[in-house]
Amino acid sequence: MTSEKIRVQDLNLYYGDNQALHDIQLSVKKGSITAFIGPSGCGKSTLLRTLNRMNDLIDNVRITGKVYVDEQNIYDNQVDVVQLRKHVGMVFQRPNPFPMSIYDNIAYGPRIHGIKKKRDLDEIVERSLQQAALWNEVKDRLKKSALGLSGGQQQRLCIARMLAVDPDVLLMDEPTSALDPISTLKVEELTQTLKSRYTIIIVTHNMQQAARISDYTVFFLNGHLVEASETNAIFTNPKDKRTEDYITGRFG
């Protein structure tokens, strides 16, 4: 039980009258990579966003059930959402760099959490950019606007920005959908190197990617969790017919 990082229990989520998640049960192991797969609109992003309470920001969202991170129900009243989000970092489906310099983008998180010394910030910025495989491309233009980066570079910037606050859970919503094959490979390698220290959940539409990098795979359909199991098992021997149809490309 101690190796469990996240547990989702009886989770239902409604956008207004529209139920987007139905009775989700899920357990995520510490130090593992879990892939969320499923057709567009099935609720992958929605579930991911419940794990750092990002849905709190949307009007008319109603959530029932529990989500435990480190055995603490994050929907409890006394939970400090700011602290939670420091521990549970997120990369969004669309890159969203701040309209400021590359350096300031990365330093943003550490700064708001009280790191002021230039030397510390410099070090964090370099390390995070290295980790996100972006350092070599931007080291000479750190003071330039992040908006001048290409889409793929922006996405890696957002990954670096997340790593800079040193979270222990990484939620990545299709982090490589805007990347070329080489950057994709870099991000995939990154997930492998980070795995020992972090718990990673990655949403992907790319079956090969899920198979390549994840330890566990969860398949969703229309807001329902259909099947969750070890990646090997799900790809070689899916238990549910719908999972099999999806991963073999027969629908979705």
Partner 1 sequence: MSKRTDRLMRGVFIASATFVSIIIFSIILFVGKQGVQTFRDVSPAEFFFSTDWTPLENRYGALVFILGSFLLTGLALLFAVPFAVGGAIFLAKYAPSWVREILRPAVDLFVGIPSVVYGLVGLTVFVPWIGKATGTAGFGVLAAALILAIMILPTILSVSEDALRTISRSLEEGSYALGATRWQTIRLVLLPAASPGVLTGIILGMGRAIGEAMAVQMVIGNAPLLPTGPGSPTSVLTTEIVKDMPNSIFGSTVNNALFLMSLVLLLVSLVLILLIRVIASRREV
> Where does this chain bind partner 1 (CB under 8 A)?
52, 54, 57, 59, 82-86, 89-90, 92, 94, 96-101, 104, 108-109, 112-113, 143-145, 158, 161-162, 165
Give how far Cα 37 sits from Cα of 77, 122, 132, 154, 209, Å: 31, 37, 23, 24, 10
Q: Is 15 in the site for ligand ATP (CB under 6 A)?
A: yes
Nearer to ligand ATP, 31 or 252 (CB): 252
Q: Mark the segment that binds ligand ATP (CB under 6 A) among 34-42, 97-105, 160-168, 192-200.
A: 34-42
d(CA 39, CA 29): 24
Give how far Cα 243 sits from Cα of 22, 29, 168, 237, 249, Å: 17, 22, 30, 10, 10
Nearer to ligand ATP, 1 or 57 (CB): 57
Bridge-based pairing state of the strands 33-37 and 199-203: parallel
Q: Which of 32, 34, 45, 231 binds Mg ion (CB under 5 A)?
A: 45
Q: Which of 3, 10, 25, 41 binds ligand ATP (CB under 6 A)?
A: 41
Q: Which helix (H) or strand (E) holds 50?
A: helix 44-50
The partner in contact with residue 90, picked from Mg ion, partner 1, ligand ATP, none with C-beta cut-offs of 5 to 8 angstroms by kind, is partner 1
Q: Which of 156, 167, 170 is nearest to 32 (CA)?
A: 170
Kindly state the smallest distance separating residue 100's Cβ from ligand ATP, in Å: 26
Kindly state the smallest distance separating residue 71's Cβ from partner 1, in Å: 20
Q: Which of 24, 37, 42, 226 binds ligand ATP (CB under 6 A)?
A: 42
Taking the CA atoms of residue 44, residue 92, residue 129 and residue 181 in that order, the dihedral angle to the nearest 10 degrees is: 60
